[in-house]
Structure formats: C-alpha cells, structure tokens
Amino acid sequence: MFTRKRIVIALGGNALGNTLPEQMIAVKSTAKALCDLIEEGHQVVVVHGNGPQVGMINNAMAALTRENPNQPNTPLSVSVAMSQAYIGYDLQNALREELRKRGFVRTPVVTIVTQVRVDPEDPAFENPTKPIGHFMTKEEAEHASKAYGYVVKEDAGRGYRRVVASPKPVEIVELDAINSLVDAGKIVICCGGGGIPVTLQGDHLKGASAVIDKDFASCLLAKQINADMLIILTAVEKVAINFGKENEEWLEDLTVSQAKQYIQDGHFAAGSMLPKVQAAVDFAESGAGHTALITLLEKAKEGIMGKTGTKIHL
C-alpha cells in the first residue's frame, strides 16, 4: 500500500554545477528528479550544498575589497546568504516550470533564507580546517590575517588559503516558518549550504565565520519537522566499504548498529562519505520509522521504492 512520506532531500554539489551557466542547466535535471517524487504524492523539503557558489561569491567580494580600499570586507555569513538566495531563485523556478509541464497549475515553491545557530564554544572553532576562497601568496596571507583576522594555512604547496570552522548545527532559527509552509503543503527550499551560521549574543544573532555541513543541517531539519525519510544525494549510487580496493563491497541495507561499526572501523573518508553516513545514522536512530537513504539524484525514486541506494534504519 502506498504511503505518502514527508521527505527531506539533501542535494549534493553535483546537482547544481560549478558556475552560473552550469547551474541553470543542472537545476533542470535536478528539478525533474525532485518532481518525480512530488508527482508520486510525497511531501518534499529541499536542502542544498553551496560549495562552488559560496566560494565564487566570496572571491568576488574579496576582489572588490582589494580594488576599493573603502569597500568593507564581506563577512562569510553574508556570502552564504547570497548563495542561498540565488541558488533558491534558480531551483524554485526550475521546479515551478517542471511541475507546470506535468499539469500542476498551482506550484507553491518557496525559498527561505535560513539562519542556523551554532555553539560559539564548539571545539571546531579552536581548529578551523575548512578551506575557502582564493589561493594567496605568503605576503597576501599575512595581510589578510592582520587586516581581516583570517586564519590562514598553507595548502599542499599550492599557496595559502583562508580556513574556517565547521561547527555542528544546534538550532534552525526559521523553523516555525518552515514548519508552517510545509504543513500548508508548500514545496520548501531551506537551510541552503547548511544554513547561515550564527551565534546568539543576547537577543542578537551574529554571523559566524564558519561553514555548516549541509548533511548535518539536513538531519537536524528532518528530525525537527518530523520527516519520515532523509535522503542524502551524492555522486555514488550506494555506500561502499573497502572503497576502491579489491574487496570493495556496496551496501544496500544497514542497521544503525552496523553503520556505527563501519564508521568506527574507518571505512568512510572524512569530508566525503563520513558526514553523510553520520547524518543518516543520527536521523535513523532519532525515532521509530525514521529511514535514511544515500544514493544518486537520478535514483532517488527507485531508492524510495527499495530498488537501489543504501538504506539505514534501526
């Protein structure tokens, strides 16, 4: 018997392209895959990455600051907000167009510029590791450190880059608005790039120099809107252990305890598959009936039907 599901979908960077022209093409195929699920009657909430996009914006704003000394430096949190808006603009229009092609005249798709609170005491702030922005010479790096307070590290002999923290999300600030729209049957795009990182200072939300992992943000959102499924879309159809080795094994069905053991055994690369599996496990163990799925964008519909992908559950 068919059951309509509330699904949070975390789109990987490959679903959006690396440049403005690439993104306009990529969102069309992305919209088709998402509309396959919507057409099946599922309630879809979309979260997306923003790696190439926020880097492009950050570089452009940094170039403006270098060209015009009177132009203040643009905080990373503002660059994330910019990326949310312009990715959402392309994605919601692509979804609207695809839905109309399929006969859905009412196409309520909306993007919410979303702030996500992080803990200023998160240990990640003590050891920033996430590189962003352009490469710099040693002299440029020293200037950026003194002028803007950047943490700068040498990057594999290619030059110096700014590094920022990647703290865990603790609160989605616009959750009430997201819940209201989802409950009203709207298609919501939110928490783009993991959300605009903010810390709470009294009554003020202050932007943080950080990047939140979009898979962890998707997990938090899925738990807080009581989703049935969290689908993390990536560049492979299934999760593997012993990846790239002769004894490579593709996984189809995992319990939470099995997945935790594979994590403990070091099967998943940090910064790649590891956060996806961690987020999937976190969601799957958060409530009875919660299921996480990791697969390719174009395989999402088949994955929900149990035909492919890696499913993680209690």
Is-catalytic flag, 214?
yes
The continuous run of DSSP H or E covering 98 comes out as: helix 76-101
Q: Parallel, antiparallel, or unpaired: how do β-strands 43-48 and 239-241 relate?
A: unpaired
β-pairing verdict for 43-48 and 187-189: parallel
**Is 299 annotated in the active site?**
no
The whole-angstrom separation of Cα 280 and Cα 213 is 13
Beta carbons within 10 angstroms of residue 268's beta carbon: 19
Q: What is d(CA 10, CA 292) in angstroms, rounded to the nearest whole number?
A: 11
Rounding to the nearest 10 degrees, give the CA dihedral for residues 100, 103, 107, 109. Answer: -60
Q: Which of 228, 258, 257, 256 is nearest to 241 (CA)?
A: 258
Q: Is-catalytic flag, 307? A: no
Residue 93 bears catalytic tag: no
Name the catalytic one among 50, 88, 193, 214. 214
Supply 133's token pair.
Answer: 């922005």
Q: Which of 18, 28, 73, 130 is catalytic?
A: 130
Cβ count near 46 (within 10 Å) = 26
Rounded Cα distance between 217 and 195, Å, is: 7
Q: Does the active-site annotation cover 260? A: no
Rounded-to-10 torsion of CA 149, 195, 23, 111: -140
85 three-state secondary structure: helix
Identified catalytic residue from 5, 195, 238, 276: 276
Please tell me which residue in 12, 13, 192, 193 is annotated as part of the active site: 13
Active site residues: 13-14, 130, 214, 276
